[in-house]
């Protein structure tokens, strides 16, 4: 693996930032300063240090992807493009998506090979919050905020768990609303089914956060980056 990619993968900076660090002599390989950005290293055996601190390569891999519509959350699909096709240049072996977004849903998707973290984030008993931004056909009001809080019958055995509905904007002329909904479960088509049960329809859906992780504007639609070690720790501790 190239030294600059290794450092960027560890979250030390963007590819061009870490190249600058290397050129400035901040990086050592096996005890000698290395100023060659495309130096090939063996991430499992070479000793790499940055600013005098020895780095250790992650055992697992963690990505955040800003999923565009038109891609399915599956490792293989005969009909549709998969989100893994967006992880260009990455080794896909062992990776899976943490939960799924519908083909027409956009936004934050975590991709990893860490089954334990995936379980932590998806297990209903952990109540990990997921926030969605949605455009709605219909006018959302106080009664819908109360209904989401109390739980909604979406045709399952149980009502939905308490959810937080925030109304961002309503447009009486076009009969539309913009909302944010925070849920702590991950039922099939949950957000769409909740609004359907309330007599409205979701026309656009985007996940903007999952647990402690937020989708920032620096990840354009269809792009991804590795999670930093701080982000991974925060996700693991759900704080």
Catalytic positions, written as ranges: 102
**Tokens of residue 224, six digits:** 């991804």
Rg (Cα) of the chain, in Å, rounded? Answer: 21
Determine the size of the site formed for ligand URA (CB under 6 A): 8
Helix (H) / strand (E) element for 146: namely: helix 142-150
CB of 220 to ligand URA, least distance (A): 20
- Contact residue for ligand URA among 105, 112, 131, 160 (CB under 6 A): 105
189 binds ligand URA (CB under 6 A): yes
Report d(CA 84, CA 90) in Å as an integer: 9
- Contact residue for ligand URA among 67, 144, 192, 206 (CB under 6 A): 192
With tokens 């290397």, the residue in question is 22
80 binds ligand URA (CB under 6 A): no
Q: How many CB atoms lie within 10 A of CB 107?
A: 23
- Contact residue for ligand URA among 43, 77, 90, 102 (CB under 6 A): 102
Helix (H, G, I), strand (E, B) or coil at 154: coil
67 binds ligand URA (CB under 6 A): no
191 binds ligand URA (CB under 6 A): yes
- Give every strand in the sheet of 27-29, ordered side by side: 32-33, 27-29, 48-50, 53-54
- Contact residue for ligand URA among 112, 190, 215, 231 (CB under 6 A): 190
215 binds ligand URA (CB under 6 A): no
User: Residue 7: left (phi > 0), alpha (psi -120 to 50), or beta?
Assistant: alpha
Report d(CA 27, CA 159) in Å as an integer: 55
- Contact residue for ligand URA among 98, 101, 165, 179 (CB under 6 A): 101
C-beta of 19 vs 166, nearer to ligand URA: 166
161 binds ligand URA (CB under 6 A): no
- Contact residue for ligand URA among 128, 198, 205, 232 (CB under 6 A): 205
Helix (H, G, I), strand (E, B) or coil at 100: coil
Q: Contact positions toward ligand URA, by CB under 6 A?
A: 101-102, 105, 189-192, 205
């Amino acid at each position: 693996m190239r030294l600059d990619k290794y450092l960027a993968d560890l979250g030390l900076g963007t590819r061009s930032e870490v190249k600058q660090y290397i050129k400035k002599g901040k990086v050592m390989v096996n005890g000698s300063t290395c100023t060659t950005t495309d130096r090939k290293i063996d991430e499992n055996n070479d000793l790499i240090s940055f600013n005098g601190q020895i780095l250790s390569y992650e055992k697992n891999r963690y990505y955040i992807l800003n999923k565009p519509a038109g891609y399915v959350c599956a490792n293989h699909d005969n009909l549709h493009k998969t989100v893994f096709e967006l992880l260009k240049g990455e080794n896909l072996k062992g990776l899976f998506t943490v939960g799924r977004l519908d083909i027409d849903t956009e936004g934050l998707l975590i991709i990893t090979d860490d089954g334990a973290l995936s379980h932590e984030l998806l297990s209903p008993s952990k109540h990990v919050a997921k926030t969605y931004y949605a455009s709605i056909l219909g006018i959302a009001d106080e009664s819908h905020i109360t209904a989401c809080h109390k739980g909604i019958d979406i045709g399952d055995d149980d009502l939905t768990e308490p959810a937080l509905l925030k109304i961002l904007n309503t447009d009486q002329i076009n009969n539309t609303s913009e909302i944010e909904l925070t849920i702590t479960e991950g039922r099939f088509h949950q957000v769409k089914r909740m609004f359907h049960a309330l007599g409205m329809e979701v026309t656009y859906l985007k996940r903007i956060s999952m647990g402690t992780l937020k989708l920032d504007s620096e990840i354009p639609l269809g792009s991804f980056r590795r999670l930093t070690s701080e982000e991974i720790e925060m996700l693991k501790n759900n704080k």
